[in-house]
């Protein structure tokens, strides 16, 4: 999604992937969403799921395990601060 929304070819490729996934009854997860502009373009194209730096940076495994352990005790404080990294609309 790097070239979205400005690059016509990237938009065309994304549109084609969406059409194929719809025809096959599959859900698409957009990988590498970094900007609000990319998110807006993906929403317009019908992408329902996404992940990327827009929602959070990569973390070390030990930091991820610590976060999981902390969240096991109650709701994540991050859930109130950011949109879900999985469902984008």
The confidence score (pLDDT) of residue 81 equals 47
The confidence score (pLDDT) of residue 74 equals 65
Task: Tell me, yes or no, if the pTM score tops 0.75.
Answer: no
The confidence score (pLDDT) of residue 66 equals 85
Helix count and strand count (H, E) for the chain: 3, 2
The confidence score (pLDDT) of residue 78 equals 47
Sorted by sequence, the CB contacts under 8 Å of residue 89 that are 6+ apart come out as: 43, 48
Segment 67-88, tens digit of pLDDT = 888 877 765 554 444 445 555 5
The confidence score (pLDDT) of residue 57 equals 84
- Which ranges of the chain have pLDDT less than 70? 74-89
Give dist(CA 33, CA 48) in Å, integer.
12
């Amino acid at each position: 999604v790097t070239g979205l929304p400005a690059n016509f070819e990237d938009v065309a490729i994304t549109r084609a992937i969406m059409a194929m996934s719809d025809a096959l009854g599959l859900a698409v997860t957009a990988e590498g969403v970094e900007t609000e502009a990319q998110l807006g373009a993906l929403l317009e194209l019908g992408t329902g799921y996404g992940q990327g730096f827009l929602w959070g940076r990569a973390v070390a495994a030990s930091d991820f395990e610590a976060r999981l352990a902390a969240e096991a005790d109650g709701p994540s404080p991050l859930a109130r601060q950011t949109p879900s990294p999985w469902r984008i609309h």
